[in-house]
Amino acid sequence: MKEAEKFEKSTLFEGIVSLRALLLAYESTYNDRRILEVLYDTDKIKRTPKEYMFLKKRAETLGFRLTETPRTEIDLLALGQSHGGILAKCTDRTLPALENAKIQKDGFYVMLEGIEDPYNFGYALRSLYAAGVNGVILPPRNWMSAAGIVCRASAGAAEQLPLFCAQSAEDAALFFKDRGYALICADLPNSVPLYDTALKLPLFLVVGGEKRGISKPVLEKADAIVRIDYGRDFPAALSAASAAAILGFEIFRQNRN
């Protein structure tokens, strides 16, 4: 099976970290994903009886199946080998349209565009979640079809973040600017250094992929276009995930008080 096909079919959530994130999602108002069944390594029950009993109680409370399953069967279903003997089969998650969203008055929102694989997408979500972002805006074509991979790469953050869908970055930019948000774009042409730019909330940050970048109509609406200066001469671009982490934590730093 081709790598891209594996990603598209990665509807299984692997490992205890992903499972805990799924369980926490039941307490949210923005994530309607539900667990259908958890496959649990039969041999693992003897090694981790407390974990198993915890999941058994949660299964009874929340209404999903907990199925004892041979490790060999789990290995065949999983994408990797670091699942720890746990797989969760889940429903899809609804991504509400941004136009209907109720956003925070002084929030920090980010749009991710053009990230080339679900691992980098997950790494970006992990960093943005840690930096305190209030929500992430996604284009219609995004990596949430590979939700299991994204959840694992994000250490569960993908299921803890409010996610919204916009038809385009330009639509999202107009939405936030109409609500008094500053529009900040990460790009090179006509840019100013990130660390010399005031980045006070409310703020909407657009991060483009390494190949396609940010569209001209969005850049024309920006209140500031920022770049990440390097510590040496280096012609290559940072990955979108790395850039999102640096940008997110600089915005956190400037607004932490």
Q: Residue 9: what pLDDT?
A: 53
Spatial neighbors of 184 by CB under 8 A, at least 6 apart, are 197, 199, 203, 204, 205, 206, 222, 223, 224, 225, 226
Q: Pick the range with the lowest mean pLDDT from 55-69, 74-88, 243-257.
A: 74-88
What is the average pLDDT value for the chain, to the nearest integer? Answer: 92
Q: Is the pLDDT of residue 61 over 50?
A: yes
Paired tokens of 5: 């096909």
* Beta carbons of 239 and 114 less than 8 angstroms apart: no
Query: For the chain, how far is it from start to end, CA to CA, in angstroms?
Result: 50
Angle at 192 between CA 189 and CA 195, to 5 degrees: 140
Q: Residue 29: what pLDDT?
A: 93
Q: Average pLDDT, stretch 196-222?
A: 90
Q: Is the pLDDT of residue 212 over 80?
A: no
Q: Is the pLDDT of residue 37 over 50?
A: yes
Spatial neighbors of 24 by CB under 8 A, at least 6 apart, are 156, 159, 160
pTM: 0.91
Rank 3-17, 149-163, 200-214 by mean pLDDT and report only the highest: 149-163
pLDDT in tens, 71-116: 999 999 888 777 999 999 999 999 999 998 999 999 999 999 878 8
Instruction: Give the span between the Cα atoms of 257 and 75, in whole angstroms.
Output: 47
* Beta carbons of 145 and 200 less than 8 angstroms apart: no
Q: Residue 185: what pLDDT?
A: 96
Instruction: Give the span between the Cα atoms of 117 and 195, in whole angstroms.
Output: 28
